[in-house]
Copies of this chain bind each other. A is one copy, B any other.
Amino acid sequence: MRDAYHDELDAITDQLVELTSLVGRAISLGTQALLSADLGLAERVIDGDAAVDALRERVERRTVDLIARQQPVASDLRALTTGLRIASDLERAGDLAVHVAKLARRKYPTGAVPPELQITIRRMGDVASAIAEKTGEVTATRDAIRAAELEADDDVMDGLHRSLLLTMLAPDWPYGVDTSIDLALAGRYYERFADHVVSVARQVVYLVTGETLRA
């Protein structure tokens, strides 16, 4: 039988899963806005960040209240502290999705992504939202094997990021400094998004197994 304390822990986990889902949706829609120069969609992602911040606040308050009321034992305390870090990582990931959307808005009605890089950016967006989806599953199920897959997804993201930079550094790259700077920043947003979200999965695995997947 479950007690109120463990019900509360489960509720916190549910909120973290929901937060992961919100930021996954944000990076997916932000990417769509960026690729299709869709101002309305960009604004929606930007406005949607308030919900991410509010949910992070709720998770934080609930966790700290639980610590204060229940004086948990060391291992539970570790889980709760990790939850706070996870909420913080997810909020940053949400900010990065907003940065993508803001780039789309700033370049409107011109697009920020030239035809040569549409596929790369689309794949970066797809990998980012797949990472968020899997991390949500890992958080809900604590499945360490599924978490290990995320390391491969993170490598794919790093490869796409490198490929983006190499394309722009090629001698026949036809665009100027302006476009290159925007795309370099966009590349960094995706790479950082993946980093924060994969770090969430790593922290979940560490809680379950006590093993660090990768430094």
What is the total number of copies of this protein in its complex?
Answer: 2
Name the CB-closest residue of B to A73: B68
Q: Within the assembled complex, what's the spacing in Å between the Cα atoms of A88 and B52? A: 18
- The answer, yes or no, to whether A169 is at the interface (CB within 8 Å) is yes
- A58 CB to nearest B CB, Å: 12
Q: Which residue of B61, B85, B177 is within 8 Å of A168 (Cβ)?
A: B177
Looking at the assembled complex, report how far the CB atom of A114 sits from the nearest CB atom of chain B, in whole angstroms. 13
A53-89 contact mask (Cβ, 8 Å, vs B): 1 or 0: 0000000110011011101100001001100110010
Q: Name the residue on B nearest A76 (C-beta).
A: B68
Residues of B near A80 (CB, < 8 A) are: 64
Is A178 an interface position by the 8 A CB rule? yes
- Decide: B88 and A64 in contact? CB cutoff 8 A: no
